[in-house]
Amino acid sequence: MNIIQLLQEKRVIDQAKAHELLADIRASGKKQDEIVLEQKLIDEDTLYGLKSEALNIPLRGVNMESLSLKVLGIIPEDSARYYRMIPLSKDGSEVEIGMVYPEDLPTQEALKFLARREGFSYRITLITPGTFSQLLKQYKTLKGEVGEALRELEDEMGSEEKKSSGSSKKSDFQRLVGDAPITKLVAVMLRNAVEGEASDIHIEPSKDSVRVRFRLLGQLYPSLTLPLRVHQSVIARIKILSGMKIDETRIPQDGRFSTSVGGKNIDFRVSTFPTPFGEKAAIRVLDPTTGLKTFADLGLEGSTLAILKKAAKEPYGLILVTGPTGSGKTTTLYAILREVNTEQANIVSLEDPVEYYIAGVNQSQVRPDIGYDFAQGLRQILRQDPDIIMVGEIRDEESAGLVVHAALTGHLVFSTLHTNNAISAIPRLLDMGVDRYLLPATLTAIISQRLVRRLCDKCKEKESPSKAIEELIREEVSRMPVDLKKNMTSRLVSIFVYRAKGCKVCNQTGYAGRIGIFESLEITSEIGNLISQSALEEDIAKVAFRQGMATIRQDGIMKALDGVTTIEEVLRVTKE
């Protein structure tokens, strides 16, 4: 394929420049693509878009997190590096091969040889040099470091089997888990998770192997597949780091440890869980640089932010953040704590567990195993002369009563509840035994939230929605409070939404982080009267909407129209 001729046809270069480039190519021995990109005549994505069109081969954006060690192992790293081709995915016996130069005959012959030798069929997709470089780093990390650690481990385990005659299995095992191969293997896992900005690591044994998955932007992706024989050693190493009992495998355990990764001190919260094939481990990655956010980072804005800030300035009262597990409630609480954290305020928190440490806040972790639960902790907090109290979660009738009592006796209290929306927090508290007449006097605001993936600003693309999506948007806007609806009218003339594309900046995912979508209920005197009169949720909702409350879905749709996220993300996490 003649790239120079293609650029001439597209009028990117003229004939004089073409002759100059051909001379450079002959003198340097480099490929046409390399010379064109070195001279910055056209950007990489545009060049390979043209190349894709000319070769009739699809240009592939690659999600780095979706690569697995098993797939990468199909082509040796040295062959991948030399021919600039790399396996991306496998479906049955067919392997998808990403190639920078699919038009190159020696590369085609090498691929045919590998396919015959390894017994796979293949389909070719085009990848950019930048994507290939990123993939090669992933190749090195997963294939090289983990493979070396596994080889060392297997050698060590083999020697242990020879030495084990006449010695106790337990002592041999305990010595093995502290040795370098396991230490290195676990360290590689942790570093990959931190560098890839994963929020969780899941180590899951099955009948034949151990699957390691990372949670990125709220979704789980396979990362590694380990041999089953290393499972016990890996779990034991993690238990040692977390201060758990190594020989207790029948019941779940919780622990925590900290280590420096890439110059940052990272906390890891660990939970083990017994399964028929051995213990599963879930590790939460607590990076303070990503976990402690401002209101703007969270996506709090408009009336929701105004209500929250107003409530946080009150001398007393209860502010609740609600939502399902994993919706970012604790992160929001931390953002509020940082906002109200001053030298004049004595702030005490009760958490399970303490996820991030905030200077100036007296944080305490409950220990139910020794009788120090939320209820016991709350009783002690009230003896600490607090101004502001944060309770990680209202879990039962006793803690609900104590939280309301604290707010009633002149303290500003923040806490969370598991409810689907803001209004349903009221019947939930009543179900937990809180007297109805106390709620109007203590509740000041309820915030409900979900998390959606934020679009990458570098590559998101504007498009017209389908007819069904456009109708849904118009329907939701028609239900918005009057003030919001007025602001949205001009935007309904021509509706545009955005889609995730993928680029080098976002590792071809199309997304960069997550952001919250919210609804907020301010407990005004009118809402308080409805609560006292045992009004139905529907009646409270009517008044709340009249007072300007938008639903979570409506907030999400506004963010989708602003290009912050996609409509699909909003629909995924909300329901009618």
Query: What is the 3-class SS of 449-506, one letter each residue?
Result: EEEEEEECCCCCEEECCCHHHHHHHHHHHHCCCHHHHHHHHHHHCCCCEEECCCCCCC
In the chain, % of residues over pLDDT 90: 40
CB 76 within 8 A of CB 92: no
pLDDT at 72 over 80: no
pLDDT at 100 over 80: yes
What's the chain's average pLDDT?
85
Q: Which residue has the higher pLDDT, 287 or 96?
A: 96
- Look at residue 358 and give its three-state secondary structure: coil
Per-residue pLDDT reduced to its tens digit, 128-165: 988 888 887 766 565 555 555 555 545 554 554 555 55
Nearest to 196 by CA among 254, 247, 137: 137
- What gap in Å lies between CA 418 and CA 549, rounded to an integer? 20
Please state whether 153 falls in left (phi above 0), alpha (psi between -120 and 50) or beta.
alpha
The bridge status of strand 388-391 relative to strand 121-126 is unpaired
Outline where 68-220 has alpha helix (H). 69-72, 77-83, 105-118, 129-139, 147-163, 169-177, 180-195
- What gap in Å lies between CA 214 and CA 190, rounded to an integer? 10
Instruction: State residue 172's pLDDT score.
Output: 47
Per-residue pLDDT reduced to its tens digit, 343-389: 999 999 998 878 888 889 999 988 887 888 888 888 889 889 999 99
Report pTM.
0.67
Domains contained in the chain, CATH given: 164-285 (3.30.450.90), 292-573 (3.40.50.300)
Instruction: State residue 177's pLDDT score.
Output: 47
- What gap in Å lies between CA 135 and CA 66, rounded to an integer? 11
Per-residue pLDDT reduced to its tens digit, 243-299: 888 888 899 998 888 888 777 888 899 999 999 999 999 999 988 777 678 898 899
DSSP 116: H
- Look at residue 85 and give its three-state secondary structure: strand
